[in-house]
Structure 1
Amino acid sequence: MTEPMAAPPTSAPESKKRQLPSNGKKPKRKIYKSAAVDPISSQGVLRKNIKDVFPDAPCNDMTEFYNRDRSIEWHLNGKVENLEIKSLSHNGLGIGFDDTRNRVILVPYTFPGDVVNANVCRTEEYYLMAELISVVTPASIRDNSLAFCKYFGEKEGAGCAGCQYQYTAYSNQLEIKRQVIVNAYKYFAPELEIPTIQETVASPLEKKYRTKLTPHFDVPKKGLASPDFPIGFGHVIKNQIVDIEECSLGTDVINTGIKQKREEIKNNYKQYKRGVTLLFREGSNESLITDPKAIMQETVGKYVFEYKAGEFFQNNNSILPIVTNFVAENLKINGEPPQYLVDTYCGCGLFAITCSSNAKEVVGVEISAQNVEFARSNAEKNNVSNAEFIVGQAERIFERVNKEPELTSVVIDPPRKGCDKLFLDQLLQFGPARIVYVSCNVHSQARDIDYFIKESNGKYKVESLRGFDFFPQTYHVESVAVLSRTS
């Protein structure tokens, strides 16, 4: 980014100038300190998205913003007309540039090619956030008739932040997500030689696919004065909750549960002294679970898994067999299942168990002792007798895995932060024949793979790379990279 802008003119009529306090002292100016931002965090990537399309865009003087005269309208706020959207951020925000303000403006529910009217309502260091008022000229991929949720978009009473792409065809959504992966490797692995990123694999269900939802509500300090308070999800821009009676992405079982729970809460609202996050999870046989400590049972293909309802497990069951089959196929060494399979962030055993067929030995490692117990139990339930599960840090796993590297394949499915350097160094030292890296954050994946390939000095290459759409209508994409040893 270029140098921050100079402070805006503050001249105003005498009657509107800031008055000195009664003690005659000047008010103390607040000093804004720009916090360090992790490059792979959402804000870090957003800044790269902005710089990508507007490299010379100036920043906002946040010290001036926080010390503005509240009696004078802040010069960056207000309506902007005929704003052309030039690009799309990784998290589904349209990126435009307002020449009159000389500022980048982000607008939700928009696409490249849209010309819109919007209202600037929030100032951030690198951009202004605006709410969509109207579309003057629609982008070629826009089709508002495709939206199926009354809480989505710029309609009165809408603004749910859960979806971003209901205004465009599903095929366009898949290409948008492919481009997110393209950009991630451009940003975090610019020198890495990678194959053409394949088309994003579609979800069999485009709505009613979510087997887990967590609506919430807040309770003010003085308590709830009436049952007329919102229960739902966050607003796309405003610091408030959108009241939602049902979610179009949730299964019928979950939405029935939400309606029943909403009525129960409204009838007993006086008993709540603090905000609550609710849990709704659908398991096998259309069972509804609302207790985070309850045992969930879920079927993935021919396998059955149990886990605590409050713990992590993918919540689009329709695409899970496609993903696990893809991972199993790409773990093969010279067309044959690996003799040894290592699952480095195994959770309750999803990949270790679904990919265990024909392997001589399977080893899974997980930091949570509770999840390891579930993994062991799940292996037994599915008659998988060749799997061992270890409690411990994935970063230390190769100290305990004494297998033949040339006959071993490794699955990596880490949390959003990605892998630690210690783990990648040990993985490289172990030197397995094949690696399949599954990630819910393609940006940390790109960073990790860039480091790993460079440190390998040509011993590994990226064989294939593609996304899987676990969350249609949203900006989220799961990325799967396949690495093979070349020497």
Structure 2
Amino acid sequence: MSQTKRKWEKGPSHNGGKRRMRKQAKPVVEGSHEEVLLADIQALLAKTRISGEDDVTKVDGAEGQTEAKPALPERGTEIEVEVVELSSTGDGLARQPGSDRIYTVPFSIPGDTVKVKVYRHLEKEQYSVADFISVVKPSPLRDDSRIQCPYFAKCAGCQFQMLDYPEQLKIKKTIVQKAYKNFSNLPQELVPSILDTIGSPLQYGYRTKLTPHFDGPPGATRKVKKPFEAMPPVGFTPKGSKKVLDIEDCPIGTDAVRLGLKRERKRLETEHANYTRGATILLRENTVRIPASDSTTVPPPESDSVKVVSDAHTDYKTCETDNNATTTEYIDDFVFTNPAGSFFQNNNSILSPFTAYVREHILPPPSSTNQKPVKYLIDAYSGSGLFTITLSPSLFPQGGTSVGIDIADKSIAFARRNAELNGLDKEKCQFIAADANELFKSVKGYDPDETVVVLDPPRKGCDKGFLRQLLEFRPRRVVYVSCNVHTQARDVGVLVRGEMVEGAVVGGEKTEEKEHKVKRKVRYEIESIRGFDFFPQTGHVEGVAVLNRVDEE
């Protein structure tokens, strides 16, 4: 993490002209909360500016004379604002009547009139930040009886519990649309209509991993160790505060995770004196599946588990708190094991339709002009093998193979174990530990015309070196999965615009084939873009973009 840069400036006259230090603002990170919010604010300013004169008004109608902008409310001032739009970050964008000034307000939706407390002003960015206090006049879309959490509007985890679920899905479709409008740098005609967002089968009780935390004892420092005299607040950091909000229950967690939270809180009631600093608590769901025909396996104690019965098997859901323990998760009949503290998708209920959708789109449509069948799958950023394993059966009937590539040796080890657990031929389903920028050097013998690449990068997206490497390889089809639709839109824009790359071509003489290097234009076109709601009640949406290579002379 880069440190904040500091710049010396001349101080005011009262300190004798001495120089003092001021903090220089950090650069905005691509695809970050700040960049996404700023894009929405700038679009709103351009669309709805009231005066058209940047809040500067004429004095007594005198030609060329102006007066200063109206003073902004001091920090801590309570005002009423009207919410006019929802940003892609989940915050409401609001104004005072007759003013151009935009205020970002959490836990609010278009049509709300809300009382807020002004927190800070960002002059250069032309907006202000405010804390939500209360609803003065509710939006027609708001129904607070839908809210199922007593900490809503305090805890920063959820933004949309007051909204009907179909309305949440419409909002998330709009977020994807704005991502491609603001960050793809593509003309509108090259971006197909965004498909409707696929909802989560569970809107509450879906989250299989939570990480509540608590701060260290009051007065304790690195040098001064002090035990807790009472149980500390255990929970999450609220919006606009650094103090932990004590959370006794979290309704978006699965039943097993909620059971684990209660158990950990009870443990801390008696063990808090053993801690001299703060800590984060892992709560990760683990599944023990016992087939209906199995009468010998002993299930976990009922007091520590949640029992889920089906015709074929009984699942016992427990909560693991050891980061290094191994947890098990099922997606349909696929089984995955992972270190409890590692990354794996946190909403199991949507993983069945999600992986089915990717599986349905991994192969080109039957109308494809390229008659070669797709045989090869490259799963970049493969982790413990989610896509490599769930997609491989689609390719095997065509004689194909798949390879998952990830930089983490530990992830690759678990991916190989998961492939074995799912009965996949290790010659047909392989895993390689390699850096993303060296990815295609690790794959030998794959014909690009017969290859599909699945991308699932971290939130920052793909770097330029990887995208150039992808264009040089020229896979026939790309399925880009992303937890950040804004960096996805940026990267998809690069692939659609394409570039001239050097590639090997066979041919050129009648008597024998010869490989030679040529410069060619490589680019892709977007077949479809769709959002998936992995995190109901929040402003987060994941995206799947399907692209096909465009062959040009």
Over 3 Å counting, the alpha-carbon distance change for 1:175 and 1:304 in structure 2 is same
Offset of residue 83 of structure 1: 0.8
Distance 1:337 1:420 in 2: 30
* Aligned counterpart for 1:404 among listed residues 439, 447, 458: 447
Q: Letter of the aligned partner of 2:272 in structure 1? A: Y
Q: Letter of the aligned partner of 2:191 in structure 1? A: I
| TM-score normalised according to structure 2 size | 0.77
* Aligned counterpart for 1:377 among listed residues 410, 417, 432: 417
Distance 1:217 1:122 in 2: 27
**Greater shift after overlay, 297-306 or 82-91?**
82-91
* Contact 1:189–1:450 (Cα < 8 Å) also in 2: yes
- Counterparts in 2 of 1:121-270, with a 5 A limit? 121-124=119-122, 126=125, 127-153=127-153, 159-192=154-187, 193-219=190-216, 220-222=218-220, 223=226, 225-270=228-273
Match of 1:290 in 2: 321
Q: Give unmatched runs, 5+ long, in structure 1.
A: 1-17, 60-73, 154-158
**Greater shift after overlay, 96-105 or 42-51?**
96-105
Offset of residue 129 of structure 1: 2.2
Q: Letter of the aligned partner of 2:178 in structure 1? A: N
Question: Structure 1, residues 393-442: CA drift from partner, whole Å, max 9, x if none?
Answer: 12211112230111111100000110111111111111111110000001
* Contact 2:231–2:268 (Cα < 8 Å) also in 1: no
Offset of residue 373 of structure 1: 0.8
Distance 1:117 1:177 in 2: 26
Distance 1:446 1:48 in 2: 14
* Aligned counterpart for 1:451 among listed residues 459, 473, 494: 494
Match of 1:4 in 2: none
Distance 2:84 2:100 in 1: 15
Match of 2:45 in 1: 54
**Greater shift after overlay, 167-176 or 26-35?**
26-35
Distance 1:101 1:326 in 2: 46
Over 3 Å counting, the alpha-carbon distance change for 1:128 and 1:27 in structure 2 is farther
Q: Letter of the aligned partner of 1:83 in structure 2? A: V
Match of 1:324 in 2: 355
Match of 2:384 in 1: 348
* Contact 2:533–2:540 (Cα < 8 Å) also in 1: yes
Match of 1:279 in 2: 282
Q: Letter of the aligned partner of 1:467 in structure 2? A: G
Over 3 Å counting, the alpha-carbon distance change for 1:58 and 1:89 in structure 2 is farther
Indicate the percent of aligned positions where both proteins have the same amino acid. Answer: 42
2:459 aligned counterpart, secondary structure: coil
1:240 aligned counterpart, secondary structure: coil
Over 3 Å counting, the alpha-carbon distance change for 1:358 and 1:101 in structure 2 is closer
Match of 1:390 in 2: 432
* Contact 1:331–1:337 (Cα < 8 Å) also in 2: no
- Tell me how many residue pairs correspond in the alignment: 449
**Greater shift after overlay, 333-342 or 308-317?**
333-342
Alpha carbon RMSD of aligned pairs, Å? 2.4
* Aligned counterpart for 1:84 among listed residues 82, 85, 100: 82
Offset of residue 228 of structure 1: 4.7
Q: Letter of the aligned partner of 1:53 in structure 2? A: L
Offset of residue 290 of structure 1: 0.6
* Contact 1:463–1:484 (Cα < 8 Å) also in 2: yes
Offset of residue 251 of structure 1: 1.1
1:370 aligned counterpart, secondary structure: helix
* Contact 1:333–1:407 (Cα < 8 Å) also in 2: no
Match of 1:421 in 2: 464
1:323 aligned counterpart, secondary structure: helix
Match of 2:68 in 1: none
Question: Structure 1, residues 263-308: CA drift from partner, whole Å, max 9, x if none?
Answer: 2112122221111000011121302211010011111111001111
Match of 2:28 in 1: 37
* Contact 1:76–1:101 (Cα < 8 Å) also in 2: no
